[in-house]
Amino acid sequence: MKTMKTAIYPGSFDPITFGHLDIIRRAADIFDKVVVCVMINSEKKTMFTIEERMDLISRVIGDFPNVEVDTWNGLLAEYAMNYQDAVIIKGLRAISDFESEFQMAIINKKINPYLETLFLSASEQYTYLSSSAVKEMAKYGADLSEFVPEEIIDDVIRKSQMRR
């Protein structure tokens, strides 16, 4: 039987939230290896630099022996060619996520026909959670402890204060 060993979990992770971590944890239970890939998207204005986002992720995935962080400046379908038997993992929060995710999955498959995209449904308690909501809350000094891991709360608060 053919097994798929590596799950690539792409996104902007600006910053990583409990919603992302939940997907990582579940994917790490299913696959031998999970690579969290911080995608460089020049169109998107981000709060944290690529290096900072990778550092925040590294700090919160310490407990998972089979999870790594990487970054890629280019097409995801090309990045996946660096791995044998890799699949793309995405989290789906709502119908609103579906349309663009479905479109991207088809485009990725056109570029790399062997590349499958698998969707994990968001856990109920995180369906409302997004990096942009976290940034908005940080801006107004809200308690972030339900949304991002303890280890990175100060970084998020500090950064949002620098930007005000």
Q: Which is nearer to ligand ADP, 2 or 150 (CB)?
A: 150
Q: Which stretch binds ligand ADP (CB under 6 A): 71-79, 130-138, 142-150, 152-160?
A: 130-138
8 A C-beta contact, residue 58 and residue 69: yes
Q: Does 122 bind ligand ADP (CB under 6 A)?
A: yes
Q: Is 158 a catalytic residue?
A: no
SS3 117: strand
Q: Of residues 5, 33, 59, 93, which has the active-site annotation?
A: 93
Interaction of residue 15 with ligand ADP, rule CB under 6 A: no
Phi, psi of 128 (to 5 degrees): -90, -10
SS3 of 47-111: the string is: CCCHHHHHHHHHHHCCCCCCEEEEEECCCHHHHHHHCCCEEEEEEECCHHHHHHHHHHHHHHHHH
Bridging pattern class, strands 67-72 and 6-11: unpaired
Binding status of residue 19 toward ligand ADP by CB under 6 A: yes
Between CA 78 and CA 14 the distance in angstroms is: 23
Could you say which of 91, 115, 147, 160 contacts ligand ADP (CB under 6 A)?
91
Q: Active site includes 59?
A: no
User: Cβ 19 to ligand ADP, closest distance in Å?
Assistant: 2
- 80 lies in the site for ligand ADP, by CB under 6 A: no
Q: What is the three-class DSSP state of 9?
A: strand
**Catalytic (active site) residue 33:** no
The question of whether 25 is a catalytic residue gets the answer no
Contact positions toward ligand ADP, by CB under 6 A?
A: 11-13, 17, 19-20, 23, 90-91, 93, 97, 122, 126, 129-132
Catalytic center residues: 20, 44, 93, 131
